[in-house]
Amino acid sequence: MKHTTSKLMLSVSILFASTAFAQKQESGIPDPGMAMSKGNTAVVITDPQNDFLSPDGVTWGVVGKSVKENNTVENLDTLFKTAKTNDIPVFVSPHYYYPHDHKWEHEGSLEVLMHSIKMFDRVSPLSVKGFEGSGADWLEQYKKYIDDGETVVTSPHKVYGPETNDLVLQLRKRGIDKIILAGMSSNLCTESHLRELMEQGFEVQVVSDATAGAILPGANAYEASLVNFKMIANAVRTTKETVAQMKKL
């Protein structure tokens, strides 16, 4: 009888624990959250560049609707401003292509597209000739944040993730292990950065409305990325929620 009672109590405890846990989940996916702390938290922005975020950019025809719906440009500005105001380090991981990159002998589908439309093109790694105002340049309103002498601009990533640049090194050298991640585009560079940073042992919170993705016939890249964000990241929060956390540091 005693053994039966103990098993019943254990079952009840498990039921209550499971119910409480389920109430903290959305669509059956746990939400661990990320507790930010001063000194080891940083903002990482991928590709805050004209080719993605300006109506004159070469991808605007497919990403523009998502950018406008998410208020992405303004939300990224808010993240930059809040980070600067609250002394939170900012790292920018840009995407550049030089003439030698156009000589690759094999490319994925979107690499072929990006090279054909001259996306993120620069004349040379050692020259900024023609860079000002080009598709590879920063969106004008972000320049006051990025060019302030404090923002870390990493070497360029070449496909989608930071495996091909020095972002992880720069973060570790600054003692950063918690990342607020935003930028373009959601299912490509942003998601690829998320995956690699998680694999490298960082905690990552994705800012869901400070990114955007291509909308194509029968395919919404932004919606697809949201599913993976929720499955991979420590937390997925809006700009408003993230800013409230940042202001408490």
Question: What is the pLDDT at residue 119?
Answer: 81
pTM: 0.88
Residues of the chain with confidence (pLDDT) below 50: 1-24
Q: Tokens 């094999």 identify what position?
A: 106
Domains and CATH numbers, the chain: 42-246 (3.40.50.850)
Q: What does the pLDDT read at residue 26?
A: 56
Quick one: pLDDT at residue 226?
97
